[in-house]
Amino acid sequence: GENVEQHPSTLSVQEGDSAVIKCTYSDSASNYFPWYKQELGKGPQLIIDIRSNVGEKKDQRIAVTLNKTAKHFSLHITETQPEDSAVYFCAAITGGFKTIFGAGTRLFVKA
């Protein structure tokens, strides 16, 4: 069945450094890739998304890249701040209503 692998499971960076989270999907028909940020005790919040007809999308300090050939997509956070500390989930959707989530990455930003 469809699968999304996410790495690393835990990431620790110094404040001001960049953080990169990578995901790989299995269904070549996937065409929409959202990223969610989940703070402790809260529901996941959509932070950025990308469609399969776009290679890169940027929103201030966060960006997402997509390589359809390799079935990889990545989240890049620049100039990290302590408030970026959270769990991040990638996901892939194949034109339907079921979202396949990665297992999550716990990001720690050390002040």
Segment interacting with another protein (CB under 8 A) among 14-22, 28-36, 53-61, 68-76: 28-36
Residue 90: Cβ-neighbour burial (10 angstroms; 0-12, 13-18, 19+)? buried
Q: Which of 3, 46, 55, 61 binds another protein (CB under 8 A)?
A: 46
- Tell which phi-psi region holds residue 9, choosing left (phi > 0), alpha (psi between -120 and 50) or beta: alpha
Q: Is residue 44 a contact residue for another protein (CB under 8 A)?
A: yes
Q: Which of 12, 28, 45, 67 binds another protein (CB under 8 A)?
A: 45
Q: Is residue 97 a contact residue for another protein (CB under 8 A)?
A: yes
Q: How far apart are CA 77 and CA 95, in angstroms?
A: 27
Q: Which of 23, 89, 107, 109 binds another protein (CB under 8 A)?
A: 89
Q: Is residue 54 a contact residue for another protein (CB under 8 A)?
A: no
